[in-house]
Amino acid sequence: MRLELEEARRLTGPNLMWDHPGAILDVVIEGIDKHKVVDVWQKWVETLLTEFGWQQQTTYRLHSEGANLALSAPMDALYCACDLAELAWYCGVAELKNEAEPYWQQRLSELHVELAEELNPALIALMQAAHKHGVSCITDDDDVSLGMGKSSHTWPVRELPELKGIQWQHYKDIPSAFITGTNGKSTSVRLASHIAKAAGFVAGVTSTDFIRVGDNIIDTGDYSGPGGARMLLRDPRTELAFLEVARGGILRRGLPINSVAAALITNVASDHLGQYGINTVEELAETKFVVAKGLDAKGTLVLNADNTLVIEQGLKLDNKICWYSTDESNALIQSHLKTGGAAVFMRNNHIVYAIGNVEENIASLEQVPMTLNGAAQHNVQNALGVVGLSKALNLPTDAIRVGLKDFGSNAEDNPGRGNIYDVNGIKVLVDFAHNEHSMRAVVKTINQLPAKRKIAMFSHAGDRSDDEIRNLTYAVTELDASLYIVTELEHYLRGREIGEVPKIVNEYLCKQLISSDKIQNAADPLAGAKIAMNFAQPGDVVLLFVLSDREQVHEYLTQSVSHKVN
């Protein structure tokens, strides 16, 4: 029998478990009925809550490796809730293993002291008053703010204003949207902000690469969680916010806010499975759809009608939906339009937006550089989704057209995503794709471009399984390249040894009957890019999957460029 607590953490917003804040435990359960373990944990929680004088709720979610166990709590008692949930777990484990009980009475006494220090009645009163007045209240460990953008005001969490002195009418929300999905999130938030800029807004963006307001990058790094959203929404310059919401942030903390005007789900495919109890793509889809809980009463959910997992989840909801598809004849698109719903689709290489039988021709693919005249089908999908999102936010059609036409496949507009360079007659595409779904999409794009020869450079992070590494490599071999360059990723070993991942890749390439003279190895992506470019000749197409050293590769290519294609 194996009963292990992997992690206890706070849930601060709507989440996969429910809409409450609280504590969540990730536990491993083997060799015993999971329901029995959950029942014993809940029994102990009830006992401890009664002794503690606290009234809270519990819920749980079973998965293949164990369970997620949740305990509700006010926002000013989340640390205490984590400790109490853990204590109940250890008491339950002792009972199930017939071991001595922990000294839970003594621990409860300690928790009373800890709770007294954690409680902040003024915070709860402010949150309740804000809800009553329809004003957003954004809180974290250190600060609390009312309103968003230029109307936002922030106070230290222990120095809150008197409620009677608050001028509630001064605090307003700004239009905001969630963007999530397995692939296309970063491209979508960037394109959406480009369209918003064309409409005259100072748009803010959070993403896995940076947090940006207008043209100013506040900081670089992964800001796809609640922390980035809070920073952006409190910035007085932000007039419209596009918040990339990654799977990890949803599972770790929940949604950053609970009232957005629109949400876009680009797609769902296998990636990052095996974390936080998400072990199947179906469970991953459920996680992505948590964003629907953040929509306001009139909010629109923009969904990909070409993705089976998105369709399955979307049809379960009663939210206002805008579906999009590359195929006008898509049955879901047609049935949705017949009921007066909104949809975005392709017709004769043109992007069309429709509500019922009222249509608008938005742009031809020739006018949308990121699609490479339709060759980059994944970016056609991204463009369709962002058109739906922009319409849901009531952005003008003219601004949508301008944004689509001006957003290029270059490192300035969309760094690391489908960036194209023309280096002395050699076409080079640089992309960050790192899972099978996205890598296949990029390879498909390259295979539609005219080329004398094709050359591929790629690498994989060490936290992939051996089979996943082989599957990713197989996706690259669909390029039928004249040269494959396998690079090391020293900063992404993630438990592997130097040379371990390239060895798996090289062995797999040989098993695919790719001759050794078509395979080279490099110490890093920059070195690999140089090998590729030295091998390439005019008329060739070079695909560089760049997961690290992106700036160095960009600088190297830029210095070599005689003409860069947007």
- The β-bridge partners of 312 are none
312 is written with which tokens? Answer: 């399955």
Question: What does the pLDDT read at residue 562?
Answer: 47
Under the banding of pLDDT at 50, 70 and 90, the label for residue 445 is: confident
In contact, 383 and 404? CB cutoff 8 Å: yes
Question: What does the pLDDT read at residue 566?
Answer: 36
Q: pLDDT digits over 32-67, tens only?
A: 999 999 999 999 999 999 999 999 999 999 999 999
Query: What's the Cα-to-Cα distance from 454 to each of 110, 295, 539, rounded to whole Å?
Result: 66, 45, 9
| Residue 473 CB neighbour total at 10 angstroms | 23
Residue 564 has pLDDT above 50, yes or no: no
Helices (H), 33-157: 34-52, 78-96, 104-118, 121-132
pLDDT: is 275 or 76 the higher one?
A: 76
288 is written with which tokens? Answer: 């992505």
Between helix 104-118 and helix 34-52 the angle, nearest 10°, is: 60
Q: Give the Cα-Cα-Cα angle 13, 276, 118 (nearest 5 degrees).
A: 45
- Cα–Cα dist 85/10, whole Å: 11
- Cα–Cα dist 469/436, whole Å: 9
110 is written with which tokens? Answer: 């300690």
* Amino acid in the structure at residue 61: R
Q: Which residues contact 205 (CB under 8 A, 6 or more apart)?
A: 189, 190, 193, 211, 212, 213, 232, 241, 242, 244
Q: pLDDT digits over 230-251, tens only?
A: 999 999 999 999 999 988 889 9
- The β-bridge partners of 545 are 431
Residue 565 has pLDDT above 50, yes or no: no
Dihedral (CA of 12, 17, 23, 24) sign:
negative
pLDDT: is 258 or 328 the higher one?
A: 328
Query: What's the Cα-to-Cα distance from 368 to each of 365, 373, 376, 377, 503, rounded to whole Å?
Result: 5, 7, 11, 12, 40
- Cα–Cα dist 103/80, whole Å: 17
Q: Which residue has the tokens 């307001």?
A: 213
Question: What does the pLDDT read at residue 414?
Answer: 66
223 is written with which tokens? Answer: 């800001």
In contact, 440 and 478? CB cutoff 8 Å: yes
Nearest to 498 by CA among 513, 509, 512, 487: 487
Average pLDDT estimate for 413-419:
68
Q: pLDDT digits over 344-359, tens only?
A: 999 999 999 999 999 9
70 is written with which tokens? Answer: 């949740």
Residue 422 has pLDDT above 50, yes or no: yes
DSSP at 448: T
Average pLDDT estimate for 149-170:
95
In contact, 243 and 232? CB cutoff 8 Å: yes
Q: Which residue has the tokens 């800890």?
A: 114
Span of 74-78, 225-229, 435-439 with lowest mean pLDDT? 435-439
- Cα–Cα dist 509/524, whole Å: 19
Written as one string, the DSSP assignment of 466-523 is: HHHHHHHHHHHHTT--SEEEEE--GGG-TTPPTTHHHHHHHHHHHHTT--GGGEEEES
- Cα–Cα dist 379/77, whole Å: 44
Average pLDDT estimate for 112-141:
96
Residue 563 has pLDDT above 70, yes or no: no
DSSP at 161: P
Span of 80-84, 351-355, 422-426 with lowest mean pLDDT? 422-426
Q: pLDDT digits over 208-218, tens only?
A: 888 999 999 99
Kindly report the average pLDDT of the chain as a whole number: 92
Q: Which residue has the tokens 């996205």?
A: 438
Question: What does the pLDDT read at residue 558?
Answer: 85
Question: What does the pLDDT read at residue 420?
Answer: 85
Question: Considering just the CA atoms, what is the radius of gyration of the chain in Å?
Answer: 26
Buried b (16+ CB within 10 A) or exposed e, 257-267: beebbbbbbbb
Q: pLDDT digits over 258-294, tens only?
A: 899 999 999 998 766 777 888 899 999 999 999 999 9
Under the banding of pLDDT at 50, 70 and 90, the label for residue 462 is: confident
Average pLDDT estimate for 19-42:
96
Helices (H), 300-359: 308-314, 331-338
| Residue 334 CB neighbour total at 10 angstroms | 15
- Cα–Cα dist 340/359, whole Å: 12
